[in-house]
Structure 1
Amino acid sequence: MPTSLTVPAPLQGAALTHPYPLVFATVSGAHLYGFPSPDSDWDLRGVHVLPAREVLGLHERRETIGDERIVDGLERDLVTHDLRKFITLMLKPNGYVLEQLHSPLVIATTPEHAELISLGRRCVTRFHAHHYLGFSAGQWKLLNRDDPLRIKPLLYTFRTLLTGLHLMRTGEIEANLAVLNEDARLPYLDELMARKRSGREKEPLDGDLTRYEAEFRRLTGELDEARVSTSLPAKVAPDVEAALSDLMVRLRLRA
């Protein structure tokens, strides 16, 4: 069963130190995916809004801002994109930004965050399968280069495959592997997650990858088939792009 997670109070103040207004900030990474280790850092992701004066003038545009620090003993990494960059990524088959947008672990929010979530659901296309196929294949290659083998990249491999499958079948973003495994019912994932949660961020994997390779191939094949058979559209509707543009202009002029 999925484990519940409460965002520590010290992280709630991350938005207060940001130099620009935030549309939202949420938790990503292992905490969102359902298998944080006690020593895992907190990956915070979000969207800021550059004011029109900075965008129109000769100022350097701070499209991406990173801030790593330790707060009350918690290591956190806050990365935000300017709204225009984030929307541009939303309009591409980029599942990563949609996961950040839909994360239930919220640090900061606004009414416009809810607007983005609503529009984000309509940005999902069949081509998002390529994002998850590519990501999982990349993780599998990295995993095979590890010495010693580690549990984390193996969990990332299966998490991305199951997220992609769920998305193709339902049109909904779900990044928590524990939730996804309620339907997939793969006992080895529960075992791996339990070891990761009670161990270290770099917890080693016992044995080799033989027992997991067949599953990786099987799920990759299922995701490729789901890409073909899904009822998701091939592209984002023009009215969604128009609504996102209007939202960006409105927030830009207000900042």
Structure 2
Amino acid sequence: MNGPEQTAITPAVREEIMARLAAAEREHGVRILMAVESGSRAWGFPSPNSDYDVRFVYAHPRDWYLSLDVEDRRDVIEYEITDDIDLNGWDVRKALKLFAKSNPSFVEWIQSPIVYRDESGFAERARTLLPQVYAVDSGVFHYLSMADKNYRGYLKAQLVPLKKYFYALRPLLAIRWLERFRTPAPIEFDRLRELVADNTPVNKDIERLLARKQRSQEKEFVPAMPALNDFIEHELSRFSRYQAKGDAPVGGEATALDAFFRDCLPGEAP
């Protein structure tokens, strides 16, 4: 996928991330199927000191999954943040089980424009399954909860955290996308902004916030912006009355995900 990778990730940082992914494979005896950027750098509004939120999906050797205690085995790999690199991953079985439930994190990972690793087109294959798997209503309620939490928790004071505006606006625009197109929303903020292209006051405030965030630290505070607050409150009120449409996946998702899972498993340890 094309995207803001060249400006968001320097060659030196990318090289370090690739080295850490390879080290994780050796340490845990796994094969990484996909690794992407998942945070503000992928969304398109990083600060100069934003973390690198690297998320990956990995597979153990096939026999690892044929054990009686597989349900009790650890299915995540987590590391402490070091040098602003936040590296965490899910086992492929866990990832695909959550995908079957329209897990918003996984759905966003497979749409990330910043890709570090994609073995055998893992992300592309997952994206082709979205119409069979994704439940639009689940996405709406997830993004509504995210927007409401960030607005009511951070944006009703005179001075507010700059980044929290984006943490409220992005999910609200994602709901607009779901409402209009009934397909998973893209994660790039610029694409979502097109849905409010006709709202001049909101767009002007967003443009000012984007420019400031590009040169500000992560914990920067700004005065509350009335036009944005009014827009957020209006959308929260409107979406609070959202009636589930009952859109269901087209069917066959369990069989397709089972086949996908089996195809991901190596025959022996890397």
TM-score bucket (shorter structure) = 0.7 to 0.9
TM-superposed deviation, 1:212: 2.9
Of the three residues 97, 104, 107, the one matched with 2:113 is: 104
Distance 2:101 2:5 in 1: 30
AA matched with 2:112: S
Of the three residues 72, 75, 81, the one matched with 1:63 is: 75
TM-superposed deviation, 1:102: 0.9
Equivalent residue, structure 1, for 2:4: 4
1:218 aligns with 2:224: no
Of the three residues 120, 128, 143, the one matched with 1:118 is: 128
Equivalent residue, structure 2, for 1:188: 205
AA matched with 2:124: A
8 Å contact from structure 1 (residues 14, 107) kept in 2: no
Distance 2:132 2:251 in 1: 11
TM-superposed deviation, 1:176: 1.6
TM-superposed deviation, 1:217: 2.2
- CA 1:164–1:57 in structure 2 vs 1: closer, same or farther (change >3 Å)? same
Of the three residues 45, 49, 53, the one matched with 2:59 is: 49
Equivalent residue, structure 1, for 2:91: 82
- CA 1:94–1:168 in structure 2 vs 1: closer, same or farther (change >3 Å)? farther
Of residues 152-161 and 108-117 in structure 1, the stretch that sits farther from structure 2 once superposed is 108-117
Distance 1:219 1:12 in 2: 40
CA offsets, 1:28-81, max 9 Å, x none? Answer: 1110111101111100112111333333154762311112354xxx52111111
AA matched with 2:79: D
Equivalent residue, structure 1, for 2:21: 15
- CA RMSD of the aligned region, Å? 2.6
- CA 1:157–1:37 in structure 2 vs 1: closer, same or farther (change >3 Å)? same
Of the three residues 138, 148, 153, the one matched with 2:164 is: 153
Distance 2:103 2:146 in 1: 10
- Match of 2:133, SS? coil
8 Å contact from structure 1 (residues 139, 153) kept in 2: yes
CA offsets, 1:157-212, max 9 Å, x none? Answer: 10111122213322143112122213323221121111111111111112x36443
Distance 2:140 2:175 in 1: 6
8 Å contact from structure 1 (residues 54, 61) kept in 2: no
- Match of 2:136, SS? coil
Of residues 127-136 and 110-119 in structure 1, the stretch that sits farther from structure 2 once superposed is 110-119
- CA 1:140–1:253 in structure 2 vs 1: closer, same or farther (change >3 Å)? same
TM-score (norm 1): 0.84
**Unaligned segments of structure 1, at least 5 residues:** none
Distance 1:115 1:199 in 2: 37
AA matched with 1:47: V
**Unaligned segments of structure 2, at least 5 residues:** 198-202
Equivalent residue, structure 2, for 1:129: 140
AA matched with 2:154: L
AA matched with 1:30: S
Aligned residues: 246
AA matched with 1:198: R
